[in-house]
Amino acid sequence: MACAGVVASAGAQLDFTFMTVGSRTSGKATFFGFNSSTSTGSLSKTSLETQSGNARTCTLIEDQGTNIVFTLTDGEDSDAAGYKTLVIDDLILSRSSRASFSSGAWVYSTTNDAISSNNGNTIIVQLRAD
């Protein structure tokens, strides 16, 4: 199976959504992606199933300059309960390579522009078990 440039085995995808990338400004900074609290961008669905089979609500997928932040309500930072890989368009982010995790928010340090370069476009976001 190939999707958005990612080749993987069948059954490895836990769930996916389509994100229409929006932008917002805070002070002098511009953020790109989806943010439910500021009504920035949108997702085709916000309920995503994790490895444990539990549905979690995605509230944020945002490029904040040198970080990408991904937030799930009641998100757990474990292989069994969460996910192993977050794929945003062609960008592959291993959960284990995150810079930090706190209160259901995973922070990845990257300067990749997979989100910001797609401002106004729709891209796929996948939670994967591989």
pLDDT of residue 11: 59
Range of the domain at 33: 2-6+24-128
38 belongs to a structural domain:
yes
How far is Cα 64 from Cα 66, in angstroms, rounded to an integer?
6
Other C-beta atoms within 10 Å of 66: how many? 10
pLDDT of residue 2: 42
110 belongs to a structural domain:
yes
CA dihedral angle for residue 97, residue 12, residue 36, residue 119, rounded to 10 degrees = 80
Burial of 105 (0-12, 13-18, 19+ CB in 10 A): middle
19 belongs to a structural domain:
no
15 belongs to a structural domain:
no
108 belongs to a structural domain:
yes
Pick the closest to residue 46 from 27, 22, 26, 19 (CA basis).
Answer: 19
Total domains in the chain come to 1
Digitized pLDDT (tens) for each residue of the chain, 130 residues in all: 344 444 444 558 899 999 999 999 999 999 999 999 999 999 999 999 988 888 999 999 999 999 999 999 988 888 777 888 999 999 999 988 898 998 899 999 998 999 999 999 999 999 998 8
pLDDT of residue 110: 92
46 belongs to a structural domain:
yes
